[in-house]
Copies of this chain bind each other. A is one copy, B any other.
Amino acid sequence: MKKENVSDAVIRRLPRYYRQLTELCSRGVVRISSHSLGQEMNITASQIRQDLSCFGEFGQQGYGYNVEELLTEIGHILGVDNNHHLIMIGVGNLGHALLQGFPFTQAGFSVDAAFDLSPAIAGTEVNGVPIYPLEELDEYVKNHSVDVVVLTIPQSVAQETADHLIRTGVRGFWNFTNIELSSGEPDVKIENIHFADSLLTLSYRIANR
């Protein structure tokens, strides 16, 4: 079903489709044309049809898309039904905020553990997630399946922590450290969250209103 070489731009639109379809579903919309979906998302109908054609055949001429079906299909493409295992390193304010407020389960991730340097927090739980001392990390990674590590640690230790984890076998990183992490290995996937890019985009829009 999956085509090779799906472009980065298409991949980045998939979560937007998923989000939009989730919202349509919650509003009770049963079917939608590519034209209307495009209007809601501010992209063209032909873009939508082209994007989806990378992954198979969806929708029906003259009927459009069944919202729930398409939501399920895109969720499947995104891997939300894979139950990926995730751990967090660094349970400061940002780590806390994510553990308490972010819907990991909805995105198909189970948060199995978190690790922190501070003795004050190790041994506690945040929203049901056990916090362990950082020195138990290597042992944990050796004995558990870990698909993604959330890095909510200081910038200064970001790259060395990532390098160390890559050596122990971790292959996925969700990076909140505001530095661009790199890895020489193509099977290591790193998703960098760049708050600054978003604020600068807003700055541009305000300055050029």
Would A196 and B19 be within 8 Å (CB), given that A82-B203, A107-B203, A201-B14 are in contact? yes
Range, interface on chain A: 35 or more
Q: Does A11 contact B (CB under 8 A)?
A: yes
A95-109 interface mask toward B, CB cutoff 8 Å, 1 = contact, 0 = none? 011101111101111
Q: Are A180 and B94 in contact (CB under 8 A)?
A: no
Q: Which B residues lie within 8 Å of A142 (CB)?
A: none
Q: Does A113 contact B (CB under 8 A)?
A: no
A187-209 interface mask toward B, CB cutoff 8 Å, 1 = contact, 0 = none? 10101011111111111111111
CB distance from A88 to the nearest CB of B (A): 12
A116-128 interface mask toward B, CB cutoff 8 Å, 1 = contact, 0 = none? 0000000000000
Nearest B-chain residue to A148, judged by Cβ: B202
Q: Which B residues lie within 8 Å of A18 (CB)?
A: 200
Q: Are B196 and A195 in contact (CB under 8 A)?
A: no
Nearest B-chain residue to A208, judged by Cβ: B2
Q: Are B189 and A14 in contact (CB under 8 A)?
A: no
Nearest B-chain residue to A126, judged by Cβ: B93
Q: Are A189 and B202 in contact (CB under 8 A)?
A: yes
What separation, in Å, do the CA atoms of A22 and B183 have in the docked complex? 20
Residues of A1-55 at the interface with B, using a CB-CB cut-off of 8 Å, are 2, 6, 11-12, 14-16, 18-19, 23
User: Which one of A63-71, A73-81, A131-139, A158-166 is at the B interface?
Assistant: A73-81
What separation, in Å, do the CA atoms of A189 and B202 have in the docked complex? 7
Would A79 and B148 be within 8 Å (CB), given that A11-B201, A97-B94, A107-B200 are in contact? no
Nearest B-chain residue to A193, judged by Cβ: B198
What separation, in Å, do the CA atoms of A89 and B98 have in the docked complex? 18
Q: Does A112 contact B (CB under 8 A)?
A: no
Can you give 11 A-B contacts (C-beta < 8 A)? A14-B200, A15-B197, A19-B194, A77-B204, A78-B200, A102-B196, A107-B196, A187-B209, A189-B205, A191-B201, A193-B198
Chain A to chain B: the 6 pairs with minimum beta-carbon distance, closest first: A79-B207, A93-B97, A94-B97, A15-B197, A15-B200, A191-B202
